[in-house]
Structure 1
Amino acid sequence: MALRPALSTATAVAALLLLAAVPSTPAASAPLETLTVAKTGTIAPDGTVTLSGTYRCTDATGPVFVSTAVDQSSPTVRHGIGGTRAVCDGAEHKWENTGMSSPDALKPGAAHVEATLMELRPEGGLPLPFFHATQQQAITLTKP
């Protein structure tokens, strides 16, 4: 029976170490950090989608990216549309992501975009996501 308390103690220590390594709540973004999505994007005949907008961020210690996903007919199926490296210097910058959706998955018309300004922040030797800003936007996909 001495084995059971030892396992419980080891499990508890492992859980505490894990909790100490991963923040339990996401950090709030600074008030000057923003992300916008343009109200229109383009979709070429070959399925290439281009989305754009602006961002502003500060105080990054790791690489930062603007990533985007678009959905149209089903909110449970999103199509990742590229990623842009971001510069967090406090100034407003433009971003543009281009990517190809699966054939016939998207077409001109109403769509929904989710954009994220995310940093891979080094925490204890591992890069963990830190979200500077997110934006959801109803847009219109048009032919270029």
Structure 2
Amino acid sequence: MSLNSTGTVDSEAVVTLSGTYRCSGPSSYAVVNSSVGDRVAISTSVICDGAEHVWVNHGRPNPGPLVRVGQAEVATRLQRWETGSNGFPRIVTLAIDRKSVDLQAAAQ
């Protein structure tokens, strides 16, 4: 899993982040979650088929102040749901990438 070192933010504080991932296993459905600072994650559904894919998260992280142009601490997680030993679903984190991302102004 990788997180690109640049992203964009538009005038309405909508953030776009991207990177690549690869996964396979018992569940073909997974998500890539990205958190900007301490704001709630924006997510994208992805497929775990063993191939490398590009992911893109696009949304407005909440709650808190609006995200602005500049450096931001971002954590991105590749996660999937699996059935636990008790029969209930649980979220398993497969990979994490954290870094300072340069958020640039999105083209209008």
Sort the TM-score into its range (normalised by shorter chain). Answer: 0.7 to 0.9
TM-score with structure 2 setting the length: 0.87
The alpha-carbon deviation at position 101 of structure 1 amounts to 3.6
Structure 1 stretches of 5 or more lacking a match? 1-34, 72-77
Regions of 4+ moved over 2 Å: 60-63, 101-105
Query: Matches of residues 1-144 of structure 1 in structure 2 within 5 Å?
Result: 35-61=1-27, 63-71=29-37, 78-101=38-61, 104-123=65-84, 124-144=86-106
Change over 3 Å in CA distance of 1:137–1:60 after alignment to 2: farther
**8 Å contact kept, 1:47–1:104:** no
**8 Å contact kept, 1:81–1:97:** no
Higher share in strand = 2
Cα deviation digits, residues 106-125 of structure 1 (max 9, x gap): 21001111000011101232
The alpha-carbon deviation at position 60 of structure 1 amounts to 3.3
Structure 2 stretches of 5 or more lacking a match? none
Number of equivalenced pairs: 104
Q: What is the Cα-based RMSD across aligned positions, in Å?
A: 1.7
Identity %, equivalent residues: 31
Q: Which structure has the greater CA radius of gyration?
A: 1
2:68 is paired with a residue whose SS is coil
If asked which structure has higher relative contact order (CA below 8 Å, sep 6+), I would say 2
- Which stretch of structure 1 is more off in the superposition, 98-107 or 79-88? 98-107
TM-score with structure 1 setting the length: 0.66
